[in-house]
Amino acid sequence: MPISPEAHTVKQFDVQLANLRNMVMEMGGLAEDQLKRAIAALDEEDLAATRETIARDRIINGLQLKADEECISIIALRQPLGSDLRLIMSLASIVTDLERIGDGAKKIARMTLHIYDGVSSPPSAKLLRDVKPMAQTAATMLHDCLDALARLDVPKALSIIHSDTELDQEFQGALRRLITYMMEDPRTIGHAINVVFIIKALERIGDHCKNIAEHTVYLVEGKNIQQRRNIDMNVVDALVKDVEMTWTNNP
Amino acid sequence: MPISPEAHTVKQFDVQLANLRNMVMEMGGLAEDQLKRAIAALDEEDLAATRETIARDRIINGLQLKADEECISIIALRQPLGSDLRLIMSLASIVTDLERIGDGAKKIARMTLHIYDGVSSPPSAKLLRDVKPMAQTAATMLHDCLDALARLDVPKALSIIHSDTELDQEFQGALRRLITYMMEDPRTIGHAINVVFIIKALERIGDHCKNIAEHTVYLVEGKNIQQRRNIDMNVVDALVKDVEMTWTNNP
C-alpha cells in the first residue's frame, strides 16, 4: 500500500532531523576530542600533537557549515512549525557553541606553542598546576551537557548550570595564584600570561557548555510546558490562523 | 479594489522584515553606546557610570530575545525561501555578535570596578595607555560594520575585515608593553592583569565586527551570485520540486 504524500513528507522531515542531530553529536564528540588533545599535548609538551590539534579545528568548522546548511534546508524544505522549529533553532545555536569550544581548544594549543617556543626556558610545574583540574572540570561539563542533550535529560542539564559556578571559582583561584607567582618571580610573567589565557579559554568553554545545557532545558520545556507559555501560544494561534487562511484562500 | 491574499502576505513579510532590520540596527546602536560608555567611564574613573553600563547590558540582552523571537516568527509565519531565508539567518547571527559586543563592554566595565576598587592605589597612566587607541579602533570598526550592514556596502564591509588585522596587531603590541611594565614593577601586576582582560575584550569586539562584516558580504553575495553557487541552486531546485509536489498532491 503506497503511503500518503503527507506521511512521506513527515518521514523525510524525521530523517533530516535525525541527520542534523547526528551532525551536532558528531561535532560534540570532535569538540571533546580537541579539548582532550590540546590538554594532553600541553601536559606532554608535544608540539607535533599541538600543531595537529590546531590543524584539526578546521574539521569542526567544516561540520558547522554543513550543520548550518542543513538547518536552513530543513526550515526551507520542511517549513517546521512550533516546537519543531524551536528544536532546529536550538540545535543551530548549540552548533555555534560547539564551534566556539573548538576555538577554545585551538587557543590552548596556540598558547602551548608560545610557552614551549624553544627560546625561553620552560615554565615551572607550579605555573601550570591549576590547568589540569580546570580542564578536567571543563571536559566533564562538556561530556555531561552533550549527554544531557542526547537524552534530553533536564535534571542533568540543570546540574551543568551549577558546575559552571564551580569552574568560575576555580578560575578566580587559579588567577590569584598566577598573580602571586608573577609577583614572587617577575621572570615567570611571560609564561604566566600565556597560562592566564589558557585558564580563561577553559573558563569560557564552561560558559559554552552552560549555554548548551540551557538550550537543552529550553528545548524540552518548549515541548512540555508550551500550554503555560503565552508567547508560544500566541505564535501557535497565529500559525493556526495563517494555515487556515492559506487553505481557504487557495484552491 | 481589495488586494489579493498573496499581495497581502508579501506586504506583511516586508513589514516584519523591516521590523527585524530595525531591531538589529537598534541593537547595533546600543552596542556602540555601551562601548563608548564603558571606555569613557574607565577614562574618567566614574564608577557610577561604570555600574550603569553594567546594568544597561540587560537592554541589549532583552532586544536579542525579541529579535530571536521575531526571526522564528517570520520563518514560521512567512516561510521565506532562498535568499530571504538566508537574509533572516544572517540577521539572526549578527544579533548574536551584537549581544557579545555588549558583553565585551560589560566586561570592560567590570574590570574598571576591579581597577578602582578603592582598596589598591590607582594604576599609573602608562598601564592604560593602549586602551584608548584600541577602543577607538574597535569603536570605528563597530560603527563602520553597522553602516556597511545598513547600506549593504560590500567594499566597506571588506575594509572592516582588514581593520581587524590592525586591531590584532595593536593588541599584540599592547600585551608586550604590559608584560614589560609588569616585569619592571611587579607591584603593577594586579592592575596590569585587569588591563590585559580589557584589551582582550576590545580585541574580541573586533572579531565580532569582522563576523558582522562577513555576514554582510555573504548576505549581498547570496543575492547577486546565487546562479554561480551550486549549493544555492540545489536548494532552489529542491524547493521548486517540493512546491510542485505539494501543488500536485494537494487539492
For residue B236, name the pLDDT band (cuts at 50, 70, 90): very low
Query: For testing the chain A interface, which of B9, B70, B77, B219 should be mutated: the one with the most A CBs within 10 Å?
Result: B77
Verify whether the Cβ–Cβ distance A245 to B5 is below 8 Å.
yes
In whole angstroms, give the CA distance from residue A18 to residue A25.
10
Mean pLDDT estimate for chain A: 85
Q: Which residues in chain A have their CB less than 8 angstroms from residue B187's CB?
A: 183
Looking at residue A74, what is its pLDDT?
86
Highest mean pLDDT out of A42-46, B232-236, B244-248: A42-46
Looking at residue B5, what is its pLDDT?
60
AA letter at B221: E
With beta carbons less than 8 A apart as the criterion, state whether B85 and A72 touch: yes
Q: A26 is written with which cell numbers?
A: 558528531
Mean pLDDT of A206-223: 86
Looking at residue B6, what is its pLDDT?
64
For residue A185, name the pLDDT band (cuts at 50, 70, 90): very high
Of A98-102, B91-95, B101-105, least confident by mean pLDDT is B91-95
Looking at residue B72, what is its pLDDT?
81
Looking at residue A243, what is its pLDDT?
33
Mean pLDDT of B107-133: 93
Verify whether the Cβ–Cβ distance A5 to B231 is below 8 Å.
no
The residues near A96 (Cβ < 8 Å, ≥ 6 apart) are A64, B93, B96
pLDDT at A69 over 70: yes
Alpha helices by DSSP H, chain B: 5-43, 47-78, 82-115, 131-151, 154-184, 189-224, 230-249
CA distances from A79 to B78, B106, B242 (A): 10, 38, 11
Looking at residue A6, what is its pLDDT?
64
pLDDT at B128 over 80: yes
Looking at residue A101, what is its pLDDT?
97
pLDDT at A234 over 60: no
Looking at residue A193, what is its pLDDT?
95
Q: B161 is written with which cell numbers?
A: 575585515
The pairs formed by A158-164 with CB atoms below 8 angstroms and a separation of 24 or more are A158/A213, A158/A217, A160/A209, A160/A210, A160/A212, A160/A213, A161/A210, A161/A213, A161/A214, A163/A137, A163/A206, A163/A209, A164/A206, A164/A207, A164/A209, A164/A210
Q: Does domain B11-249 have CATH number 3.90.1580.10?
A: no
Looking at residue A235, what is its pLDDT?
38
Looking at residue A227, what is its pLDDT?
30
Mean pLDDT of A7-11: 72
In whole angstroms, give the CA distance from residue A75 to residue B251.
24
AA letter at B32: E
**Which of B235, B208, B232, B236 minimizes the C-alpha distance to B28?**
B208
pLDDT at B221 over 90: no
Give pLDDT tens digits for A126-158.
Answer: 999 999 999 999 999 999 999 999 999 999 999
Of B68, B179, B251, the CB nearest to A189: B179
Of B221 and B245, the structure prediction assigns the larger pLDDT to: B221
pLDDT at A226 over 60: no
Give pLDDT tens digits for B151-165.
Answer: 999 999 999 988 899
pTM value is: 0.80
pLDDT at B224 over 50: no
**A-chain residue closest to B245, CA distance:** A5
Mean pLDDT of B191-208: 96
Looking at residue B201, what is its pLDDT?
96
Q: A73 is written with which cell numbers?
A: 534546508
pLDDT at B246 over 80: no
**Which of B91, B86, B78, B74 minimizes the C-alpha distance to B229?**
B86
Verify whether the Cβ–Cβ distance A183 to B186 is below 8 Å.
yes
pLDDT at B44 over 90: yes
Burial class (CB in 10 A: 0-12, 13-18, 19+), A169: exposed
Give pLDDT tens digits for B164-175.
Answer: 999 999 999 999
Verify whether the Cβ–Cβ distance B76 to A82 is below 8 Å.
yes
Give pLDDT tens digits for B103-112.
Answer: 999 999 999 9
Of B73, B93, B245, the CB nearest to A5: B245
For residue A228, name the pLDDT band (cuts at 50, 70, 90): very low
Looking at residue B238, what is its pLDDT?
40
The residues near A70 (Cβ < 8 Å, ≥ 6 apart) are A16, A19, A20, A23
Mean pLDDT of A202-219: 92
Q: Which residues in chain A have their CB less than 8 angstroms from residue B89's CB?
A: 68, 71-72
Q: Which residues in chain B have their CB less than 8 angstroms from residue A249's CB?
A: 5
3-state class (DSSP) for residue B82: helix
Verify whether the Cβ–Cβ distance B5 to A238 is below 8 Å.
no
Alpha-carbon torsion, ordered B98, B100, B102, B107, to 10 deg = -160
**Percent residues over pLDDT 90 in chain B:** 63
Of A81, A193, A238, the CB nearest to B196: A193
